[in-house]
Amino acid sequence: MPASGWHNRRAMIQSKTFLTLVLLALLLPVTARATEKLTLLFAPTTGLMPSYIAEDHGIFEKHGLDVDLVLLTNQGAAISALVGGSAQLATPSALAVIQASDQGIDVVFIASSSMSPSKSRSGIFVKNGSGIHAPQDLIGKRIGVPSLNTLIHVIARRWLELNGVDYTKVNFVEIGFQQMYDALNAGIVDGVSAIDPYYGKLQQIGYVVGNPDETLPKDTLTSVYAATRDWAETHKATVAAFRQSLAEAIDFIDTHESEARASLAKYTRLPAAVVATTPMPELQVTVHPKQVEFFIDLARHQGLIKSSPDAAHMIAP
């Protein structure tokens, strides 16, 4: 082969090799960027089981999400964490999202998780021997709720009102789910409004005087995921991936109950024996405007908001 031909061929090979290396160099960062890191603040409840499953069984990872689940000890801190940027996603109550909107804080619903009524147990527990047997007996008593002016507190007040009790005469105080057993047992409070998986443990020392959950309309939102509107609008693909992850996790729960219970025990830090008797929640990913409107009306009735937010606008596309 003439020298000039050899040089031309070698130049072509070098050129192709160079282009290949350039393409690889460009592709590698894209692959690295495909996994998005997120912090999700979660309340340790049965209703948020899809996020536990999605994390433990690689479903988030499958959809390009690296999710750090951080325990939320006070639901009231969820919105401030989103606004402050310490978390991209959180699990406040539906009411907290609506109250934030009323205060000019633009937070939106990303997804649902659980709904009422469901097979999951809930109720206002009082201690054995307390002498409390009816809603009227709670007047003047101290009742623990996980956070004031959020879901469990507000539906407890609604239940009292439906039973002819002035809820302003009942003293509600904040007690975290994981501290409710000790607080009730020690007499720090006269009652606690609890849900699964904490229900079973409380049965050891008390009984249910009433269940506000039973008075709720069908498909009432009990667990939701939220984010700031700005984050949701600039991360639409991430929102879609998160929702798909939850949907696949729900399918997993339906066919892998033992694994689902193992994750529930892990994230709620409750004994396996307690979790074993916990009923599975009613789960759904999509949030509908009618579900949000129920809480808007309830918040206005209890004087928690002054405006009338647009329910549909509060749901991320």
CATH label of the domain that carries residue 174:
3.40.190.10
Q: Give 89-144 pLDDT, tens digit per residue.
A: 999 989 999 999 999 999 999 999 888 877 778 899 999 999 999 999 999 999 99
**Structure confidence at residue 26 as a pLDDT band (50, 70, 90):** very low
Say what the pLDDT of residue 30 is. Answer: 39
| 104 & 226 share domain | yes
- Name the token pair of 93: 């109550």
CA 32 to each of CA 69, 198, 264: distance values in angstroms, whole numbers, following the listed order: 21, 40, 31
Say what the pLDDT of residue 66 is. Answer: 97
Q: Cα torsion for 296, 301, 304, 306, to the nearest 10°?
A: 80
Domain range spanning residue 304?
Answer: 34-117+220-314
Say what the pLDDT of residue 150 is. Answer: 82
How confident is the model over 288-317, as a mean pLDDT?
A: 95
The per-residue b/e assignment along 300-314, b for 16 or more CB within 10 angstroms, e otherwise, is bebebbeeebebeeb
> Per the domain annotation, does 23 fall within a domain?
no
Q: Cα torsion for 22, 26, 27, 28, to the nearest 10°?
A: 100
Q: Which amino acid makes up residue 164?
A: G
> Per the domain annotation, does 280 fall within a domain?
yes
| Residues forming beta bridges with residue 36, ordered by sequence position | 65
| 138 & 272 share domain | no
| 305 & 224 share domain | yes
Q: Give 146-195 pLDDT, tens digit per residue.
A: 888 888 899 999 999 999 999 999 999 999 888 999 999 999 999 999 98
How confident is the model over 247-267, as a mean pLDDT?
A: 95
**Structure confidence at residue 288 as a pLDDT band (50, 70, 90):** very high
Q: Residue 18 above 70 pLDDT?
A: no
| Contact yes or no for 120/264 (Cβ under 8 A) | no
Mean pLDDT of the chain: 88
- Global pTM value: 0.78
Q: Hey, how many other C-beta atoms are within 10 angstroms of the C-beta on 183? A: 17
Rg (CA), the chain: 25
| 230 & 195 share domain | no
3-state percent helix, strand, coil for the chain, nearest multiple of 5: 50, 20, 30
| 39 & 90 share domain | yes
